[in-house]
Amino acid sequence: MNLKGKKVVVGMSGGVDSSVSALLLKQAGAEVIGMFMKNWDDQKEESACRAQEDYDDVKEVCQKLEIPYYPIEFVQEYKKYVFDEFVRDLKKGLTPNPDILCNREIKFKRFFDQAMALGADYLATGHYCQNINGELVKGVDKNKDQTYFLYTMKREILDKVLFPIGHLEKSEVRKIAIENDLVTSTKKDSTGICFIGEKNFKKFISDYLPYNRGEFRTLENEVVGEHSGAAFYTLGQRKGLGLGGPGSPWYVVKKDMDKNIVYVERGENHPALFYHYLFTDELSLVNKNEEIPPHCQAKIRYRQKDQECFVEKEGNRLKVSFSAPQRAATPGQSIVFYNKGVCLGGAIIKEVGPSLIESNNSLGVENQSLF
């Protein structure tokens, strides 16, 4: 793409990916503007110093590249449209994904609008994905591909978005940063939920969602411990349960929000964790003029490999059936659909079908581990 004379606003986080994105755009002849986005009011928290460090890194990179840079704040909008919805869903027993909410409500809506208000021709980010002929395509680095988090993006927005590093492996991005002596070249990738970071999730969220003591039970209703509140746990969870004893580790296999009971069983591959189908609605398509084909691929979590699936309409909702049983399909999380590497769109998982153990029990089949 010829970017000579084009104005491009780059969303800069203080990390190596957005730093190299700005560098590559300038090398391509674009008029580049760096913009640092603040979404969380962390002045009273330990993360405040890290946010300042990130902005200091943005400033240093932009000064080295000789491009202007600005901070912009969406603290109120983030709290209203991302964090508050996140907490509401937790209270319902769901497992929401705030990164997807942030991309939908902040980065590619309000932040995008600010970029366009500056007269930008494009907004660029350091995501590992590609915009090829108006289609959202997986990044070349399959271990870093981030299309899962971007499925809510619409074609009219995608047409004005650039992903300068989507054609590169992460190792190549690091190499470019080192060769150009960028301060972020060896900086570790950020991990965890953005407003929590490295802090303990349960401890942090308890300020907004009070503890509600309840029982850990097996599916046979044997009480095996006490928990802090069903809202704090998700299907398939192993860490943080505080349950010990001899044998395989315990895993969350089911929740009853009305009774505040968290059901657990031993074994990573317990059949209570596996489902052949799920239901969803409110499908979000990248290209509104297309549809999800009956047979395609999908994944129900970020790093999962694409799974063969069959999609059919049942009234106002979609039923998605999988060739192989899926582990810990979780209401509140997203299912994202693909066709040969192209991200078609996705939706929030609303309901899951009976687990393998429930299906087997209805047929009188003895309970046993899958593998």
Cα 87–Cα 158–Cα 147 angle in degrees, nearest 5: 55
Q: Confirm whether 49 is a catalytic residue.
A: no
Q: Confirm whether 309 is a catalytic residue.
A: no
**In contact, 278 and 349? CB cutoff 8 Å:** yes
Separation of alpha carbons 287 and 275, rounded Å: 29
Give 22: exposed, middle or buried? Use CB within 10 Å, 0-12, 13-18, 19+: buried
CB atoms within 10 A of CB 185: 18
Q: Which of 49, 129, 194, 296 is catalytic?
A: 194
- Of 98, 194, 114, which is closest to residue 152 (Cα–Cα)? 98
When computed from its CA atoms, the radius of gyration of the chain, rounded to whole angstroms, is 22
- Region of residue 369 (left: phi > 0; alpha: psi -120 to 50; beta: else): beta
Q: Which of 62, 102, 309, 343 is catalytic?
A: 102
3-state helix, strand, coil in the chain (%, to 5): 30, 30, 45
**Active-site amino acid positions:** 102, 194
